[in-house]
Amino acid sequence: MIDDICERRIIHEDRLAKARTLLPVQADIEGMSDLFKAMADPGRVQILMALNVQEMCVCDLAALLGVSESAASHQMRILRNMNLVKNRRDGQVLYYRLVDDHVMQLIGVAHDHVSEVVG
């Protein structure tokens, strides 16, 4: 017997109907999935957590992660394209910051969940 499947195949139409009414539109589901993909990299999570404290440039973020500036810049491009971070130029330095508080709310909820499961 496999523990993750029913022993008897029954489709509960009432449950299906209720679940379908609660699902967002497909475009929103795809956007949410892409958001989680963008946050699925440990380095990007570290970047987001660091940017919650203060603005940082790519040089700082590369040093934080122990990677090349090119690698850090690539990660920033992904985060910027997913609308998780934005930047501002100060002379020759480009500083990054979080787009809004939702980013850390997502990370906070994820951290709480992992802490409960692990702890």
pLDDT digits (tens, 9 = 90+) for 17-63: 999 999 999 999 999 999 999 999 999 999 999 999 999 999 999 99
Q: 42, 31 in Cβ contact below 8 A?
A: no
- This prediction has a pTM of 0.84
Residue of 82, 18, 84, 25 whose CA lies nearest to 51: 84
SS3 category, 68: coil
Average pLDDT, the chain: 93
What is the percent of the chain where pLDDT is above 70? Answer: 97
Closest CA to 72 of 40, 47, 41: 47
What distance in Å separates the CA atoms of residue 5 and residue 32, rounded to the nearest whole number?
A: 27
pLDDT band at 68 (very low <50, low <70, confident <90, very high): very high
